[in-house]
């Protein structure tokens, strides 16, 4: 037989033999991975129940559950790798991780950045689950804060996932951070309207409106003289949820229209006054000819 073919055959036989020797370890490693999946699930549930008893913050509870799941997976995968490849020791794995940390850091810097931002968000808790917020171009209810992203459910029923690094480094408006929230509503009245009558009518509507809070008290201010109306700004406070804000604003607007009709207060249309004059009086050529 050709020596080259003999060498190739011997190499293939050695490779097959080594593969056969590794099969039991690979099988056990696969079993350990499946076992790790189950243990991670159970560990997450146990840690979640313990966190519910010890920690009141839902965000910190989620953080503890996610750390437990990730930690279980890390330990399970390392054990599976050592069992599947007997020549691979724990020190070798740690050394490999150390050598590859720089390359991994460059390759997954966005993932690590979002992960760290998620940890800080869960610890600092600038907003909680169920809060209604505005994040950039998106507005809705916080559904879930994960270590990588924050899930937001918009008012139109869409789910938006925003990377935690963006959430952490940009302004976030928390609409439900406090017990009450102010709504500003503009309305204009005719110039012939007595201003004390209009102000009293508007205040009476706000004080009687269902859902408008008495503390802080509603305010009615004259803010300017428009082209066709004297403009008022009504300021009142409600509970902060968007559904309540919209519902109460509709009720207040309807009550204002009915009160104005009853009190004889006119809410004017835009008005333009047109003055007609004789153009001949402003014709310079005719004026010059007449003087000559």
Given this model, what pLDDT does residue 52 score?
Answer: 80
Q: Which of 214, 204, 203, 210 is nearest to 244 (CA)?
A: 210
d(CA 208, CA 199): 14
Domain with CATH 3.30.70.100 in the chain: 181-263
Strand duo 181-189 + 132-135: pairing = unpaired
89 band by pLDDT with thresholds 50, 70 and 90 = low
Mean pLDDT across 45-73: 80
DSSP at 281: G
Rounded to two decimals, the pTM is 0.65
**What does the pLDDT look like over 14-36, one tens digit per residue?**
655 555 555 676 777 788 888 88
225 band by pLDDT with thresholds 50, 70 and 90 = very high
pLDDT at 60 over 80: no
Strand duo 230-238 + 219-225: pairing = antiparallel
Mean pLDDT across 240-254: 95
| Domain 181-263 indexed as CATH 2.40.30.10 | no
Question: Do the beta carbons of residue 255 and residue 205 sit within 8 Å?
Answer: yes
Percentage above 90 pLDDT, the chain:
43
Domain with CATH 2.30.30.60 in the chain: 127-174
**CB-side neighbour CA atoms (13 Å) of 81:** 14
3-class SS of residue 156 = coil
Measured between alpha carbons, how far is residue 120 from residues 60, 147, 168, 179 in Å?
Answer: 10, 9, 8, 25
pLDDT at 206 over 70: yes
pLDDT at 188 over 90: yes
Better-predicted residue by pLDDT, 7 or 170: 170
Q: Which CATH number is 127-174's, of 1.10.10.410, 2.30.30.60, 1.10.10.10, 3.90.1300.10?
A: 2.30.30.60
pLDDT at 283 over 70: no
71 band by pLDDT with thresholds 50, 70 and 90 = confident
Given this model, what pLDDT does residue 255 score?
Answer: 96
95 band by pLDDT with thresholds 50, 70 and 90 = low
Q: Return mean pLDDT, the chain.
A: 82
278 band by pLDDT with thresholds 50, 70 and 90 = low
Given this model, what pLDDT does residue 243 score?
Answer: 93
pLDDT at 8 over 70: no
Given this model, what pLDDT does residue 77 score?
Answer: 81
φ/ψ of 238, rounded to 5, equals: -140, 180
């Amino acid at each position: 037989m050709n020596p080259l073919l003999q060498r190739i055959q011997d190499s293939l036989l050695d490779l097959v033999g080594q593969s056969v020797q590794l099969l039991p370890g690979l099988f056990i490693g696969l079993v350990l991975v499946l076992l790790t999946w189950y243990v991670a699930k159970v560990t997450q549930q146990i840690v979640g129940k313990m966190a519910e008893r010890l920690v009141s913050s839902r965000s910190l509870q989620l953080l503890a559950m996610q750390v437990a799941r990730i930690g279980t997976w890390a330990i399970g995968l390392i054990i599976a790798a050592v069992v599947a490849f007997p020549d691979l020791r724990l020190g070798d794995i740690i050394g490999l991780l150390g050598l590859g940390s720089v390359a991994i850091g460059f390759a997954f810097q966005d993932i690590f950045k979002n992960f760290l931002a998620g940890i800080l968000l869960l610890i600092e808790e600038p907003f909680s689950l169920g809060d209604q917020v505005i994040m950039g171009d998106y507005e809705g209810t916080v559904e879930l804060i994960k270590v990588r992203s924050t899930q937001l459910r918009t008012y139109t029923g869409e789910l938006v996932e925003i990377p935690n690094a963006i959430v952490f480094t940009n302004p976030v408006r928390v609409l439900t951070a406090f017990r009450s929230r102010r709504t500003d509503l503009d309305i204009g009245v005719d110039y012939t309207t007595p201003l004390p009558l209009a102000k009293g009518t508007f205040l009476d509507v706000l004080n009687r409106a269902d859902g408008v809070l008495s503390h802080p008290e509603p305010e009615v201010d004259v803010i300017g003289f428009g082209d066709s109306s004297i403009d008022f700004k009504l300021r009142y406070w409600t509970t902060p949820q968007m559904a309540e804000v919209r519902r109460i604003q509709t009720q207040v607007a309807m009550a204002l229209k009915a009160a104005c009709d009853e009190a004889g207060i006119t809410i004017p249309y835009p008005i333009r006054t047109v003055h007609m004059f004789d153009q001949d009086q402003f014709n310079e050529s005719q004026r010059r000819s007449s003087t000559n």
